[in-house]
Amino acid sequence: MNGAIKDVSSIKDMKKLSTLNLSSNAIENVDDIKDLTKLQYLNISGNKISALPDMSKLTDLRTLLASDNKLTDVTPVGQLKNLEALDLTKNSGITDVKALAGLTHLDPDRTYLPTAEMKTDLFAAIDVNKIFELFNISKMTTGDLDNVQKALDAYDALSDEQKTYIDSKKVEATKNNKAKVEAGDEPEYYPEYDNGGVKQPILDRLEIKVVDKKWQVTSEGKLCKKKNKYGSDAVRVYFYNR
């Protein structure tokens, strides 16, 4: 679709669309794309779009081409957690792309931003966020400490400008729970850093029963998790005959 299209309200009911090309038109408003949940490819380049709608439902979107528009705020793009390819060039009003630092699937070879400096700073931050994704801050264990230290070291190596791309509260929460875990204490729970905010149950004990061919219980066992002398979790299995 291209030419002199201005109104795209007719697309709002095309729920099964996976590819949509609206480039090189006179479109000013694309609010009606927000419910096209099957979209994987969207090209809105070369229009007159000044703002993007909420894009949180577009979880399948892999490619967004939005060059040569009038965009200023890229916050909605930061909702596209599975995005791999992005073009925001020729949008002179874009001065801040910090909202994109959580897009850890972005391919640097398929990402084009208004300035080279923006791209350098963004991907430096994305690389750090990828390390933070290797552990759950709220459920941190001794087994996570190596990755935790790697994440904090990578953060410290960023420039002052690049550090502004990273959630400073997340860094402080990480440091806080690292200290707790190293001291043998339980980590503090942070709903915003727990992938949905629901604390999952931890298996501490499991009872096992062994049966014969007649389904008679011959022995029982218990699996228990305890701290060893080094402060790490240790699992032991105890069996006894009936």
The pLDDT tens digits of the residues spanning 90-129 come to 999 999 999 999 999 999 999 999 999 999 999 999 999 9
Asked if residue 123 and residue 232 are part of one domain, the reply reads no
- Do the domain assignments include residue 93? yes
DSSP string, 44-91: --SS--------TT-TT--EEE--SS-----GGGGG-TT--EEE--S-
Asked if residue 212 and residue 183 are part of one domain, the reply reads no
Sign of CA dihedral 206, 212, 217, 219: negative
Asked if residue 223 and residue 130 are part of one domain, the reply reads no
Asked if residue 108 and residue 62 are part of one domain, the reply reads yes
Full residue range of the structural domain in which residue 223 is found:
205-241
Asked if residue 223 and residue 125 are part of one domain, the reply reads no
Residue matched to tokens 């008679």: 216
Please give the model's pTM, rounded to 2 decimal places: 0.77
- Do the domain assignments include residue 3? no
Q: Which pLDDT belongs to residue 49?
A: 98
Residues in the chain: 242
- Do the domain assignments include residue 53? yes
**Neighbour-count burial of 226, counting CB atoms closer than 10 A to its CB (0-12 exposed, 13-18 middle, 19+ buried):** exposed
* CATH number for the domain harbouring residue 59: 3.80.10.10
Q: Kindly state the percentage of the chain with pLDDT values over 90.
A: 77
Could you give the number of structural domains in the chain? 2
Q: Which pLDDT belongs to residue 241?
A: 61
* pLDDT exceeds 70 at position 204: no
| 174-183 pLDDT per residue, tens | 999 999 999 9
- Do the domain assignments include residue 67? yes
- Do the domain assignments include residue 102? yes
Name the pLDDT band for 196 (thresholds 50, 70, 90): very low
Provide the mean pLDDT of the chain: 88
* pLDDT exceeds 60 at position 229: no
| 60-95 pLDDT per residue, tens | 999 999 999 999 999 999 999 999 999 999 999 999
Asked if residue 216 and residue 101 are part of one domain, the reply reads no
